[in-house]
């Protein structure tokens, strides 16, 4: 019995704090390669959001199967419960939810400035549109895309780096920045003792209920002969748990570099992607076909739009998922925006000629075919190491600076010597 | 670890509900308006800011005068301008 007590207190301790982002990202990277091995598809979410948009198209009188993107590219069939991508999304929601609850970190959070909600919606639309133009978000075209050795992900990453810089300029523009309520402090006594996720609260119990419910759902899938869907759900739960506990915010990897010079997430992602690359290479060499898509202006411009959108919205497609589960209302709206944006792209693919204009003529570049195995592995890990070194250098040189006029600007260099 | 019994902040910045990157941006901009020796109290509930706000305050050359005070999903920081 005593042993059991130890086990439970160990588990409780795990949820008392947020996990080291680099370690968590590396674990997510290794798991994402395993997920690819098990399901034959990479960890991604926006494809499924596009199918959600497909389910909603009939409401505005459009047959989703008349759209090439939804019918042929995303292969819309059945409902989320019939699809691997659907189960990974459901798993992520439940994993993030019980992680937030077990940590006592759930709280309905509504921004005081209503402009944040508008921002979230439009940022979400731009990000959803850009992601699908590039055939994937921070996951499919970046975190799990780079390890597939598809060159379009390099274009997407460069686009995202530039797009987030523009996004920072927009998000910190006085119109969106707004004014914080800086007040004279009330001279009353304040308790300076931390109350670690109040043990008496209902949240950990609700968290356990979500754990049991999700596992029951998985067991039911296995029992009815859908082992693959069940596995996708299990991986989803692990991914949701990891991104919430590690607060893995892909948006901040670039945004923070441009605002304060903070490189915590940039460095974590660089190492996480290297781990994912090595493990994914093993899976590919065992014979699982790679996911390669068009390396053209669609990937680059999609990356730029995506970068702008995620900074304005405050989070990307994975970011809104765990934040919505923590009770952050703004990110429910970002999610709705994402689905609308993905739907717009699906419409524009045919009707605005986006496919012919930006995608069709461009080659699908597979780095393993172009550079051979050693070239592809060295090139990809080298690219990520360069990004790590750049971020580390940048972090040491750049600090946040407020201008006298209240305008926020970037300041480069010369900080150390002051 | 031991926090002092009493802190008298000069200004309070309540950022409950504010998402990233605004907690860090607001905190650092507010610190700019404080005079040497004055203390800013920041109240935040954006989980990312739990680490980002104190670490960025330190990087900007300010002093955290005590451990962040956690109250369930909400956190308070006390930052002094040296």
pLDDT tens digits for range A96-115:
999 999 998 999 999 988 99
**Residues of A numbered 128-187 whose beta carbons fall under 8 angstroms of chain B's beta carbons: which are they?**
171-172, 177, 180-187
Q: What is the pLDDT of residue A199?
A: 53
Output the pLDDT for position B71: 87
CA angle, corner A47, sides to A157 and A56, nearest 5?
A: 135
- The yes-or-no answer on residue B20 being catalytic is yes
Residue numbers in A near B62 (CB within 8 A): none
Instruction: Retrieve residue A246's tokens.
Output: 């590690």
Radius of gyration of chain A (CA): 22
> What is the reported pLDDT for A409?
40
* Phi, psi dihedrals of residue A22, rounded to the nearest 5°: -70, -45
Q: How far apart are CA A9 and CA A16, in angstroms?
A: 10
CA distance A74 to A70: 5
Considering the candidates B20, B25, B63, B70, report the single residue annotated as catalytic.
B20
Yes or no, beta carbons of A190 and B67 under 8 Å apart: no
Distance between first and last Cα of chain A: 60
Tokens, residue A179: 């004014």
Hey, how many other C-beta atoms are within 10 angstroms of the C-beta on A282? 12
The Cα–Cα gap between A174 and A169 comes to 10
Give B63→chain A minimum CA distance, Å: 16
Candidates A181, A247, A252; nearest CB to B14: A181
Distances (CA, A) of A109 to A203, B17, B73: 16, 5, 10
Please give the pLDDT value at position A277: 97
pLDDT of residue A2: 44
- Dihedral of CA B63/B67/B71/B74: which sign? positive
- pLDDT < 50 positions in chain A: 1-3, 404-418
d(CA A115, CA A172): 13
Report the pLDDT value the prediction gives residue A102, as an integer from 0 to 100.
92
Residue-level pLDDT at A197: 57
Res. B47: pLDDT tops 50: yes
| Tokens 């954006």 belong to residue | B46
> Are the C-beta atoms of residues A24 and A246 closer than 8 Å to each other?
yes
pTM above 0.90, yes or no: yes
3-class DSSP state of A209:
helix
Between B33 and A273, residue with greater pLDDT: A273
- Going by C-alpha positions, the residue among A180, A179, A172 that lies closest to residue A408 is A172
Q: Which residues of A touch B21 (CB under 8 A)?
A: 171, 252, 255-256, 259, 311, 314
Q: Is B64 on the interface with A (CB under 8 A)?
A: no
């Amino acid at each position: 019995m005593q042993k059991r007590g130890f086990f439970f207190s160990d588990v409780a301790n795990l949820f008392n704090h947020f996990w080291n982002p680099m370690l968590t990202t590396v674990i997510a990277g290794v798991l994402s390669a395993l997920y690819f091995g098990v399901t034959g598809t990479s960890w991604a979410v926006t494809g499924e959001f596009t199918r959600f948009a497909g389910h909603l198209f009939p409401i505005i009188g459009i047959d989703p199967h008349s759209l090439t993107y939804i019918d042929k590219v995303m292969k819309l069939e059945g409902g989320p419960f019939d699809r691997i991508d659907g189960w990974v999304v459901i798993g992520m929601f439940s994993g993030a939810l019980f992680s937030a609850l077990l940590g006592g970190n759930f709280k309905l959070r509504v921004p005081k400035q209503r402009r944040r909600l508008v921002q979230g919606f439009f940022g979400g639309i731009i990000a959803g549109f850009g992601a699908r133009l590039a055939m994937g978000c921070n996951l499919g075209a970046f975190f799990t895309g780079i390890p597939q050795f598809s060159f379009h992900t390099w274009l997407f990453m460069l686009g995202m780096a530039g797009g987030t810089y523009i996004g920072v300029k927009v998000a910190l523009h006085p119109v969106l920045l707004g004014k914080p309520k800086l007040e004279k402090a009330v001279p009353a006594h304040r308790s300076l003792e931390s109350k670690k996720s109040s043990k008496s609260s209902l949240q950990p119990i609700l968290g356990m209920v979500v754990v049991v419910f999700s596992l029951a759902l998985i067991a039911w899938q296995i029992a009815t002969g859908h082992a693959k869907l069940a596995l996708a759900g299990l991986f989803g739960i692990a991914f949701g748990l990891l991104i919430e506990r590690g607060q893995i915010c892909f948006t901040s990897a670039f945004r923070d570099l441009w605002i304060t010079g903070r490189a915590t997430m940039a460095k974590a992602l660089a190492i996480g992607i290297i781990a994912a690359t090595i493990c994914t290479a093993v899976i590919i060499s065992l014979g699982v076909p790679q996911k390669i898509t068009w390396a053209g202006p669609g990937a680059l411009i999609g990356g730029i739009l995506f970068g702008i959108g995620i900074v304005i919205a405050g989070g990307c497609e994975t970011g809104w998922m765990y934040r919505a589960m923590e009770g952050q209302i703004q990110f429910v709206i970002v999610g709705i925006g994402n689905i609308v944006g993905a739907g717009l792209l699906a419409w524009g693919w045919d009707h605005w000629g986006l496919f012919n204009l930006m995608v069709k003529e461009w080659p699908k570049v597979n780095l393993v075919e172009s550079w051979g195995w050693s070239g592809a592995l060295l090139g990809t890990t080298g690219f990520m190491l360069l990004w790590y070194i750049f971020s580390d250098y940048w972090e040491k040189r750049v600090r946040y600076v407020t201008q006298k006029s209240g305008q926020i600007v970037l300041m480069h260099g010369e900080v150390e010597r002051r | 670890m031991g926090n002092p019994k009493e802190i008298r902040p000069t200004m309070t910045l309540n950022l409950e509900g504010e998402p990233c990157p605004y907690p860090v941006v607001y905190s650092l901009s507010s610190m700019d308006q404080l005079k040497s020796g004055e203390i800013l109290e920041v109240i935040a509930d954006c989980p990312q800011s739990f680490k980002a706000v104190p670490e960025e305050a330190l990087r900007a050359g300010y002093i955290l005068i005590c451990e962040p005070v956690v109250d369930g999903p909400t956190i308070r920081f006390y930052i002094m301008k040296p």
